Structure 1
Amino acid sequence: MKKAELRYLQRLAELYPTIGKASTEIINLQSILNLPKGTEHFMSDLHGEYEAFSHVLRNGSGAVRKKIDDVFGHTLSNSDKKALATLIYYPKEKMQLVKKTEEDMENWYKITLYRLIEVCKTTASKYTRSKVRKALPADYAYVIEELITEKAEVLDKEAYYDSIVNTIIQIGRAENFIIALAELIQRLVVDHLHILGDIFDRGPGPHFIMDRLMNYHSLDIQWGNHDVVWMGAAVGQRACIATVLRNSIRYGNLDILEDGYGINMLPLATFAMEVYKDDPCNAFEMKGTSNYNALEKELGQKMHKAISIIQFKLEGQLIHRHREFHMEDRCLLHRIDPVKGTVTLSDGKEYPMLDTEFPTIDWKHPYELTAGERDVIERMETAFRNCEKLQKHMRLLLDKGGLYKIYNGNLLFHGCIPLNEDGSLKEIQIYGKKYKGRELYDILETYVRRAFFAVDSMEQRKGMDILWFIWASPSSPLFGKDKMTTFERYFIADKETHKETKGAYYHLLEDEKVVDTLLQEFDLSPEHGHIINGHVPVHQGEGESPVKCNGKVIVIDGGFCKAYQKVTGIAGYTLIYNSYGLILSAHEPFTSKEDAVSKESDIVSNRVSVHYTSKRRLVGDTDTGKALRERIEELMQLLDAYRKGYIKEKK
């Protein structure tokens, strides 16, 4: 036996010091391989819509209701099934309503407990007892394990379980126990959660989503462009900070910054009121501001304009600093003719401007910040860098996230893979070197991590600036359009200038040869692999399908964001991958948690099988199964080493 092999087996022997313990572990791992694979849940483009996200997380995109159907079939009415499902989603709130109308609560508790126990048994059956035990709530772990485990030694099982349930009710713990069972079912019904980007911006609750994900039992996150710009802001990249501020003001979401993250907006508000006091800033109206009074709207518009001009200046500085980004066409301040009130775009066409008041621009040096603007952005940088809660959320994105993920034969990412028009991989220059395909993703992620962890200040600065590049560049796999027309949307009436043309990836998704090449680029099987991504809303109302290329590509951004729902016609797609195959769910718009509880409304509107397997997939067919087989092989070698006397047992 080679020394390196023997050294490794000696380390393994510290965990399994006897033949008996190594043998037991082999048997345990082998049994796990034959269990059904756990359910994976895919969600994308949440855009701060916490309530809708929370509901879909609670119902597992219909997985909870399916378990109820599996358990009770036709023995329960549809109304009873809906009531039970709602109780599992919102146990506390549902019980408050039940108590107002139910005359015999003791009987209701008993019936409900038995129903929940049966659902719990079925949900837990695909896991090992050890895994279920780890998921049990500490206060009721022993009792729940007794109730959901078959006990062959008990002759009168009905009386045994009755005595436990009756005791729970008699000592006044029925409600707490129901909540514990409901939350256990929610946890067990989904084994692993994939978030395919864009948690931030648009909606009012990204910080609540992040708080929820901080405590989720098993997840990964593929960064979206809106997440990356927040990461840039958190690490102090000033163009990213200005973008985050502008987006938050534009969508009427200053509460996220002020209440959610404790970032003081007074420096920007004071500056805006002073500099733009006589400017109505009509081109900078905010969306979703129906609850604002006249003074709040006026202040909001002034702040909106102030930070927008700061952003355009900072972006101009960044583009001039990095000529290799090839984004000079996005520097537009020097193209403004302040006398004529026009701007000439990079195509040579001149357009009248909707706003010609620029008190902070020095036309000889249009990209230089004034002293007031510099003070605002410096104070904002300090606030973002020192916000403990924001830094914790960003650390979650770093710890659980990346630009892409290969998981159980599927390729997960948020945006696109840059392609040439002929379908070949497009080369992108990053700091003097060219990359394409998987290499491009890998180098960009490396620079993102350097922004947070590099000791060398030059490398850290490169990482910080690459975060903005990923947000806004036509060459970015997370943006994927020819330009970001923020400037044009504010200042030019002609909507032709507002157009952002999607890259080649999006119109080549139905080309099977191209898709097969992309799967192979990431070492995946063209026969069995899938690309799953979000980023560009699927317009179901216009007949567009989220399933492309004969099921090899699934785009799951259907519009969680309320701002998109007028054009998508729905409120988001989610995907489930269980032991039977891939199932896509299209969701109706979520109204409110109160409606979900009182009307027992569930928002899964349509479930479609994307890929159905004739043979149920087991843990042994997954990435986890591959890792378990490797560990079994190592343990077999350890057994052999014990038996041949290379290693001595420690009894």
Structure 2
Amino acid sequence: MEFAEFKKTYGYDNDIRYLRLLRHRYPNINSASEEIINLQAQLNLPKGTEHFLSDIHGEYESFTHILKNASGVIKSKIDNVFSNTLTEAERKTLATLIYYPEEKLALVKETTSNMNEWYHLTLYHLIEVCKVSASKYTREAVRQSLPKGFGYIIDELLHAQDDARSKDRYYREIIHTIIRIGQADAFITAMSHLIQRLSIARLHIIGDIYDRGPGAAIIMDTLMQYHSIDIQWGNHDIVWMGAARGNTCCIANVIRNSARYDNMDTIEEAYGINLRPLAVFAMQAYGNDPCSVFIPKHIDMTKYSKRDEKLIAKIHKAITVIQFKLEGQMILRHPEYKMQNRLLLDKIDPKSGTVNIEGKNYPLTDTTFPTIDFTAPYSLSAEEAEVVERLKTAFMHSQRLKQHVQFLHDKGSIYNRYNSNLMFHGCIPMTRNGNFATVILENTHLKGKRYLDAAERLVRQGFSADTPQQQTGIDFMWYLWCGPQSPLFGKNKAATFEQYFVANKDVQTETKNAYYACIEKKETCIKILQEFHLDPETSHIINGHVPVEIKKGQSPIKAEGKLLVIDGGLSKGYQPRTGIAGYTLLYNSHGLILASHEPFESRQKAIIEEIDIHSNITVLETTGERILIGDTDAGMELKEQIHDLELLLAAYREGILSQRL
């Protein structure tokens, strides 16, 4: 094809500045041709496995194990390779070794008499599993994933040909030398981590990493090291993001949640935030108050202490009252949020011990408010103001929290479209008749995709440095945490006040957005997919946020399979309601697979007793032919690169650009 014809066919204009830039990387016909051949070959590889998790809520042991076993992917590979040569017990041991190589090696040494023989067998087994795991990648992609120090050796072993007898001695000598020079443990560990990495091509976190469980910071450290990841913000993530940016309403909510679930260690130990000023204030202000309504929920009874319980209850009440004052100030500052119905401190009648909610008086379960001036109920006392200022400084200066929140900003978004799947944590605000709800944001009427795009833009403004819009974005993070039209929250109100201070269950009810009723219908999901420019025939919506209660007969599969909810109770606090311990989703070259998990006992039992998480697997959708990289978003990018390189070839051949030989 001549250059002029090529330009006309593919819509290029006469400007060849881009091709001149491309020439720096591919300076001649040979280099450009080599890359075209390489990219074209990649298009025909099977797509890598995608792994979806949601609503982790600080449960780091369960999360880490699911990440290590890739929701059963690794065990499945072991079974496929060794079903006829290893017993079930031997396959379980190999799987545990891959999940926890350092710990399992230490146990093996205590019980194995002939370690040399064990090393030889184990190394061969790991090589076979690694070959299968690497089969979806180009050799160059595998090389880029190889651990430092053993890269060349692993590359040689992975690409050994079974019929290459002349090299058989060469490969046996490599393994023998690894053992002889005392590098077997390090090599096994490197191979195990490589298998974990190659088993999953992309990790999707559908929100709510934080709160309830004790290990959110550990989870964030793990995610920051993951090779390929995206995160859709949940409401529990955005409140921590706001807290790190100095939003005092978010800070109060973060501390209150931590106190409620007896999880102060995340704030104090993981992030180094000093809560002593708050504790001292709480003891002074509520010293004689039993604060019985504020006794924390002890998820981990091994840490339970009656003495700590009393102190946490006082801290819990102190920060809750501070939160309502700060939120009142926020609501009055932002009337456009339309949250005036959340202004309840001024509706309290301290004499009768009642509160007026939507025109009706309700008795209060707690009438001790020593820090509230009912002539100005939303004003902080001098002591409260000092505590809030010190907390704000501590949150904003926590380096580890700053790193984690920056990572959430960089890798996160309100929604994501990836390989025909639309992912978001909560909802798309809708009306009862199934239309997208109109929301006024910065004096503009928005709905559907445009609203979510604008909301994300506001969050990112909150991370911009010294701009007039920065504070607007920081404030808006609190709205996303609990606002009535927040796509991350998805309810008409956060009935926090009522749940603490009013016994009546009716006023404690938080009504879900109409979205959650509408998505039972296939036509609604088709409408949402079309709104986000996805093909409804091949695409799916993947949500978290609302736990699927199996005990009540609820299903994670909605709208004839168009929408999947994968919050099944990874958090221990939800498991009595859901009846399981979480869902995860896999999307491989054969289709979609849903895994429902039973509770994870402990890391120790997983290593010593080789107790894996028992998972029930449901194949949701299979394809007649394997999905190739050429069928994915990555494939579209490769095709664009091929297209540009072919134009560069034409420019070389027509003499438009000179080659550099």
For Structure 1 versus Structure 2, the TM-score category normalised by the shorter chain is over 0.9
Deviations 1:526-567 (A, max 9, x none): 111000010000011222111111111000000111000001
Determine whether 1:612 maps to 2:617: no
AA of the residue aligned to 1:404: Y
AA of the residue aligned to 1:466: F
Determine whether 1:189 maps to 2:221: no
Determine whether 1:485 maps to 2:495: yes
Counterpart in 2 of 1:399? Answer: 410
Q: Quote the offset at 1:301 in angstroms.
A: 0.8
CA distance in 1 between partners of 2:99 and 2:537 (Å): 37
CA distance in 2 between partners of 1:492 and 1:471 (Å): 22
Deviates more, 1:439-448 or 1:93-102: 93-102
Contact 1:585 1:604 in 2 (8 A): no
CA distance in 1 between partners of 2:463 and 2:490 (Å): 25
1:239 to 249, 254, 259: 249
Determine whether 1:424 maps to 2:435: yes
Counterpart in 1 of 2:352? Answer: 340
CA distance in 2 between partners of 1:177 and 1:246 (Å): 46
1:178 to 188, 207, 211: 188
Counterpart in 1 of 2:380? Answer: 369
Q: Quote the offset at 1:161 in angstroms.
A: 2.0
Counterpart in 1 of 2:94? Answer: 84
1:351 to 339, 352, 362: 362
Determine whether 1:408 maps to 2:408: no
CA distance in 2 between partners of 1:151 and 1:580 (Å): 27
Deviations 1:104-126 (A, max 9, x none): 11111111110000001111111
2:67 to 41, 57, 60: 57
AA of the residue aligned to 1:552: K
Counterpart in 1 of 2:343? Answer: 331
Counterpart in 2 of 1:383? Answer: 394
TM-score of the aligned structures, taking structure 1 as reference length: 0.98
Counterpart in 2 of 1:103? Answer: 113
Contact 1:485 1:499 in 2 (8 A): yes
CA distance in 1 between partners of 2:462 and 2:75 (Å): 44
CA distance in 1 between partners of 2:425 and 2:504 (Å): 31
1:301 to 310, 313, 326: 313
SS at match of 1:138: coil
SS at match of 2:541: strand
Q: Quote the offset at 1:160 in angstroms.
A: 2.5
2:138 to 122, 125, 128: 128
CA distance in 1 between partners of 2:149 and 2:98 (Å): 19
RMSD over aligned CA atoms reads 1.3
Deviations 1:582-624 (A, max 9, x none): 0000011011100111121111420101111110000000000
Contact 1:510 1:549 in 2 (8 A): yes
Mapping of 1:465-614 within 5 angstroms?
465-614=475-624
Deviates more, 1:417-426 or 1:499-508: 499-508
Counterpart in 2 of 1:322? Answer: 334
Q: Quote the offset at 1:363 in angstroms.
A: 0.6
CA distance in 1 between partners of 2:203 and 2:405 (Å): 18
Counterpart in 1 of 2:82? Answer: 72
SS at match of 1:434: strand
AA of the residue aligned to 2:103: E
Q: Count residues with an aligned counterpart.
A: 649
Deviations 1:68-90 (A, max 9, x none): 12212322221111111111101
CA distance in 1 between partners of 2:168 and 2:604 (Å): 37
Contact 1:61 1:604 in 2 (8 A): no
Counterpart in 2 of 1:228? Answer: 238
Structure 2 unaligned spans of 5+: 5-11
Structure 1 consecutive aligned stretches of length 4 or more whose deviation exceeds 4 Å: 1-4, 151-154
SS at match of 1:627: helix
CA distance in 1 between partners of 2:102 and 2:160 (Å): 29
CA distance in 2 between partners of 1:171 and 1:250 (Å): 54
AA of the residue aligned to 1:387: S
CA distance in 1 between partners of 2:348 and 2:294 (Å): 18
Contact 1:596 1:602 in 2 (8 A): yes
Q: Quote the offset at 1:249 in angstroms.
A: 1.1
Counterpart in 1 of 2:7? Answer: none
Deviations 1:420-455 (A, max 9, x none): 101011101112211111011100000000011153
CA distance in 2 between partners of 1:390 and 1:294 (Å): 30
Deviates more, 1:148-157 or 1:355-364: 148-157
SS at match of 1:456: coil
SS at match of 1:393: helix
SS at match of 2:478: helix
CA distance in 2 between partners of 1:268 and 1:403 (Å): 33
CA gap 1:12/1:604 in 2 versus in 1, 3 angstroms: farther
Q: Quote the offset at 1:153 in angstroms.
A: 9.7
SS at match of 1:531: strand
CA gap 1:152/1:9 in 2 versus in 1, 3 angstroms: farther
Deviations 1:41-86 (A, max 9, x none): 0000000000100000000001101111221232222111111111
CA distance in 1 between partners of 2:500 and 2:288 (Å): 19
TM-score of the aligned structures, taking structure 2 as reference length: 0.97
CA gap 1:152/1:279 in 2 versus in 1, 3 angstroms: closer
CA distance in 1 between partners of 2:22 and 2:643 (Å): 12
Q: Quote the offset at 1:502 in angstroms.
A: 1.2
CA gap 1:515/1:591 in 2 versus in 1, 3 angstroms: same
Counterpart in 2 of 1:253? Answer: 263
SS at match of 1:544: coil
1:312 to 314, 324, 331: 324
CA distance in 2 between partners of 1:548 and 1:431 (Å): 34
Deviates more, 1:250-259 or 1:220-229: 250-259
Counterpart in 1 of 2:453? Answer: 442
Structure 1 unaligned spans of 5+: none
Mapping of 1:142-221 within 5 angstroms?
142-151=152-161, 154-221=164-231
Q: Quote the offset at 1:636 in angstroms.
A: 0.3
Deviations 1:454-492 (A, max 9, x none): 5323x1111011101100011001111121111111111
Contact 1:154 1:160 in 2 (8 A): no
SS at match of 2:487: coil
Determine whether 1:277 maps to 2:287: yes
CA distance in 1 between partners of 2:48 and 2:105 (Å): 30
2:643 to 630, 633, 636: 633
Contact 1:642 1:649 in 2 (8 A): yes
CA distance in 2 between partners of 1:260 and 1:168 (Å): 39
AA of the residue aligned to 1:351: Y
